[in-house]
Amino acid sequence: MDSDPDFGTDRRRRAYQVGGRTTRERIAREAPLDHQALENVRSSDIVVVRGTYDHVEWVLTALGLPFVELEPSQLRETDLRREQLLVVNCPGNVGRVDRVRRFVEAGGSLFTTDWALRHVLEPAFPGLVAFNDRPTGDAVVRVEMGEHDNPFLQGVVEPGDDPLWWLEGSSYPIRVLDPGRVRVLISSAELEAAWGEAAVAVTFPFGEGEVFHMISHYYLQRAETRTRRHRAPAAAYAAEKGVAWDAATTSYAQGLSLGEVESAASSARLFANLIGAHQRRHMEAEAAPRRAEREKPAGSQPGAGTGSVAPERDGSSKEGA
For β-strands 164-167 and 199-206, DSSP reports them as unpaired
101: confidence class by pLDDT, cuts 50, 70, 90: very high
Q: Which residue has the higher pLDDT, 164 or 20?
A: 20
Q: Is the pTM of this model over 0.75?
A: yes
Q: Report the distance separating Cα 200 and Cα 205, nearest Å.
A: 17
Q: Report the distance separating Cα 110 and Cα 104, nearest Å.
A: 7
**Position 195: which residue type?**
W
What does the pLDDT look like over 114-144, one tens digit per residue?
999 999 999 999 999 999 999 999 888 988 9
Average pLDDT over residues 259-280: 90
For β-strands 129-131 and 139-142, DSSP reports them as unpaired
Give me the CATH code for the 5-288 domain, please.
Answer: 3.40.50.880
Res 275 pLDDT > 70? yes
List Cβ neighbours of 219 (8 Å cut-off, separation of 6 or more).
Answer: 12, 16, 54, 55, 56, 58, 59, 267
The predicted pLDDT at position 247 comes to 97
What does the pLDDT look like over 200-247, one tens digit per residue?
999 999 999 999 999 986 545 555 667 899 899 999 999 999 999 999
Res 316 pLDDT > 70? no
Q: Report the distance separating Cα 28 and Cα 22, nearest Å.
A: 10
Lowest-confidence region among 107-116, 153-162, 280-289, 302-311: 302-311
The partner residues of 164 in beta bridges, in order of sequence, read 142
The predicted pLDDT at position 140 comes to 87
Q: Are the C-beta atoms of residues 216 and 207 closer than 8 Å to each other?
A: no
Average pLDDT over residues 173-194: 97
